[in-house]
Amino acid sequence: MRKEIKLAGFGGQGIVLMGVMLAEAAGYYENMEIAQTQSYGPEARGGACRAEVVISDEMIDYTKTLNADVFVAMSQPALDRYLPEINPETAAVFVDEMLVTAVPETVRHLYRIPATRLAEEQCGSRMAANTVMLAAVVQKTGIISLEALSRTIRERLAPRLRDINLKALEITLAYLSGGDTHETL
């Protein structure tokens, strides 16, 4: 079992933290082997930012994603840049509904999640958009358990981040259970 997740957006959206949380959730609470990569440039606070997580039940020799099972794009440039590396037939593609408007029709499993809007309206901060998106990915794909994600937020994050992230998790689950996910499956 090898699962690969690619996350991309602009700096300041918490893309790296999303990767770290996913990796720690799987590594600490689901007993998996983990490889996690982030890359960014000097324009990190506003430019392109990418994180990758490989989760496996065996030792991981190759730490990069080869064939992502999940791809998250938090900006249009991120989608445009990394979609060519993804298999549009098989990957589950998650985009921020507000920030990514043009998605090629070749993408078969598309989830439009209003991550930034929900974070702003219901958590009072855009900063929580990364956790809203991560919660949606976990809920929709089961790539890790919700319990592992919740424990990671409670046990690994600094206190000032904990509450807003737990709130983000909660509002996302409430939103998704409302059935309004704009899936095109």
Provide the binding-site residues for its own copies, judged by CB under 8 A.
Answer: 23, 27-28, 31-42, 44, 59-60, 63-64, 158
Q: Tell me if 71 sits within 8 A of 93, measured CB to CB.
A: yes
Q: How far apart are CA 47 and CA 60, in angstroms?
A: 29
Q: How far apart are CA 184 and CA 132, in angstroms?
A: 19
Q: What is the smallest separation between the CB atom of 143 and its own copies, expressed in angstroms? A: 17
Q: How far apart are CA 43 and CA 49, in angstroms?
A: 9
Q: What is the smallest separation between the CB atom of 20 and its own copies, expressed in angstroms? A: 9
- Residue nearer to its own copies on the CB measure, 103 or 149: 149
Q: What is the smallest separation between the CB atom of 39 and its own copies, expressed in angstroms? A: 4
- Residue nearer to its own copies on the CB measure, 27 or 114: 27
- Residue nearer to its own copies on the CB measure, 40 or 166: 40
Work out the angle between the directed axes of helices 15-29 and 129-141 (0-180°, nearest 10): 40
